[in-house]
Amino acid sequence: MIQGTVGQNATLPCNAGDESIRAVEWTRSGMKEYVLFYRNGRSDTTEQMSSFKDRVQLMDSELKDGDVSVTLKNLEKTDEGTYECRVALGGSGRHKRAIIGAEPLKVVELKVSGPGEFGNFSVVSVLCCSCSWFLDNKT
């Protein structure tokens, strides 16, 4: 499980090994559109979920050493969920659309905490003020 905080960045790890990578697809369980689809040296945003536009990028756009990890920028509480990484290996990248027909290479659970949250607890600050109270030392 990857843990992140609202407003921060999180890296979702995935590695395809030393294979020739034709395309990379990151999806989120239960969603029709994809989080990231990368082929021919660039991201294809045609059917990308609008909430991820301009907020997700490959860690290494050259896919060196098979690293297809992504960074999700400016986390939102709604980003919490299960993400799946798929790759298409070898051959030409002449797919019009994503949906790489392969089992996920990696499944990553992302947990997003709000500012000030720690586990199942929240930090609460309480300010106390004693007005018109004083210690009487006359007794």
In one-letter notation, the amino acid at residue 116 is: G
Question: Each residue of 49-78: pLDDT tens digit?
Answer: 999 999 999 999 888 889 999 999 999 999
Instruction: Check: pTM over 0.85? Answer yes or no.
Output: no
Q: Where are the domains of the chain?
A: 2-122
pLDDT of residue 118: 54
CATH superfamily of 2-122: Immunoglobulins (2.60.40.10)
Judge whether 85 and 109 are in contact, CB under 8 Å: no
Identify the band that residue 139 occupies on the pLDDT scale cut at 50, 70 and 90.
Answer: low
pLDDT digits (tens, 9 = 90+) for 97-138: 445 777 899 999 999 998 766 554 444 445 544 555 555 666
